[in-house]
Amino acid sequence: MTTPSDAGREAGRLLVGPFNRVEGDLEVALEIAGDRVRSAQVNATMYRGFEQILQGKAPHDALVYVPRICGICSVSQSVAAARALADLGGLVMPPNGQHATNLILATENLADHLTHFYLFFMPDFARPVYADRPWHAEAVNRFAPDRGVQVRAATAARQRWLTLLGTLGGKWPHTQSVEPGGSTRPIDAAERVRLLARVREFRAFLERELLATPLEAFTALDSEAALWDWYAQAPMAGDLRFFLSLVPDLGLQALGPGPGRYLSYGAYAQPDGGFALARGLWRAASQALEVLNPRSITEDATHAWLADARTPLHPLSGLTRPEPDKPGAYTWNKAPRLAGEVVETGAIARQLASGHPLVRDAVARHGGTVFTRVLARVLELARVVPMMEDWLRALRPGEAFCVPAELPDEGHGVGLSEAARGALGHWLVVRQGRLANYQIVAPTSWNFSPRDAGGTPGALEQALVDAPVRPGEKTPVAVQHIVRSFDPCMVCTVH
């Protein structure tokens, strides 16, 4: 039997885990050559079987089960399910319902970006391994998990921010107000005024602590050169600039390159059609946004402890049945592919697909890396807060927020949405009024995909190749930066 003290290291091989600050449990097996990672296998170590649990349920019951896949992407799961049920029933939300749904989703997504930056990602720079760096004392001061002044301030800002959802959705997580026909919680005029004030509070936090700059001035930066000029104006002002000061010192601009293909399903559907942040596949090599074809999405279970149809399956005909003794398997996660290709998803994909010049320029120079992933998330915080202010102003108190959901006894539905961490899809099939199949492909299912039948590694598995390993490291800090730069959610990954 393996004991903890000797589990970590074998010659040329590291078994790394448990990772924390990744939401759920994660293990990475590394092959080391010299002072670099030669190859990586990513293991999502826990299986709960939501796709099995949902079999035979009344379709509307999915809205109780799926948010409980994940406590940090809870609303995102609800929105994807609601969109799939709306697709099944041919339902269209009234404008108030669409705005309320977007506000609820954006509140969660921005809370997650804030949580990622302050609580999950930045604390690693307070590690003793960096004690020799000139910025280390300040990193400890700001980001030590228990005492860091900015960690504590951000936790308080997050708490206040999520009170939006007490009003808009009753509670968070596991908000049950998201319906295929809209929102169960009408907002009156006085509540709207209070919600706008609460959004301004969050705006003030971002403008004071994170950016030390008005949101609109930050989102107006249109190139990486403009970003560094902005940085040089006041190198220690605000926590983003502090991060930027680490980028060249640690080479974060080149650390953890992804596959160069970026998937967004489109975020925040609008009442008149379309999305506030566009849908599409951004291909770095050609600098082009390609039209997304959801029919080309498949899952390959070759290396998962799951029954393997011997061929990749589209989620509508997807299969989830555990086979814990399957040879060659090393994770509970299937390998999603878009037209057979590995893609990366997340805020970086949304900012590329929606054409923001700062992220397009930075990614053109460096690719998808630790630096550009974090930058895209911060940019999204700055871009979406003003959108939320617009959606709140667009609410029409007294008009409908929800239409009742009449669902057919036979049919299927597809719900594509964007969680904080990227593209989230639900596919459901209904027979005789019951769920006959329910398949979920989550953002980290894409990003932390295992190898497929052809042996092609997933996005993180590729990103970890050539990561530096310091002498004696059992949990290499560079590997941790790369892993966390994706803002992974392991409980969504396998569900």
Measured from the CB atom, the residue of 73 and 349 that comes closer to other proteins is: 73
CA angle (331, 334, 338) in 5-degree steps? 145
DSSP at 121: I
If the CB atoms of residues 124 and 380 are measured against other proteins, the closer one turns out to be 124
Is residue 491 within the footprint of other proteins (CB under 8 A)?
yes
Q: Considering the rule CB under 8 A, would residue 273 count as an interface residue with other proteins?
A: no
Distance between CA atoms of residues 119 and 122, nearest Å:
7
96-125: contacts with other proteins (CB under 8 A): 115, 119-120, 123-124
Question: Cα separations (Å) of 53 from 22, 60, 75, 293?
Answer: 25, 14, 19, 29
Shortest Å distance, C-beta 343 to other proteins: 25
What x/- string results for residues 419 through 438 when contact with other proteins is judged by CB under 8 A?
--------------------
In whole angstroms, give the CA distance from residue 451 to residue 344. 14
- Closest separation in Å from C-beta 435 to other proteins: 10
Task: Select the residue interacting with other proteins from 251, 271, 294, 322 (CB under 8 A).
Answer: 322
DSSP 335: E
Residues 21 to 50 in contact with other proteins, rule: CB under 8 A: 21, 23-27, 43, 45-49
| Residue 204 vs 288, nearer CB to other proteins | 204
CB 64 to other proteins: min, Å: 5
Residue 159 in contact with other proteins, rule: CB under 8 A: yes
Interface residues for other proteins in 68-97 (CB under 8 A)? Answer: 68-72, 74
Residues 173-212 close enough to bind other proteins by CB under 8 A: 173-177, 179, 181-186, 188
Dihedral sign computed on CA atoms, order 96, 97, 103, 104: positive
Residue 338 C-alpha from the chain's centroid: 18
* Burial (CB count <10 Å: 0-12, 13-18, 19+), residue 247: buried
Could you tell me how many residues of this chain bind other proteins (CB under 8 A)? 96
- Identified binder of other proteins from the candidate list 12, 33, 55, 296, rule CB under 8 A: 55
Of 143, 19, 10, 5, the residue nearest 476 (C-alpha):
19
Adjacent-strand bridge partners of 344: 262
What single DSSP character describes residue 306?
Answer: B
Pick out residues in 344-403 that bind other proteins (CB under 8 A). 397-398, 400-402
Q: Does 270 bind other proteins (CB under 8 A)?
A: no
Q: How far is the CB of 273 from other proteins (least distance, A)?
A: 23
Q: Helix or strand or coil: residue 465?
A: coil
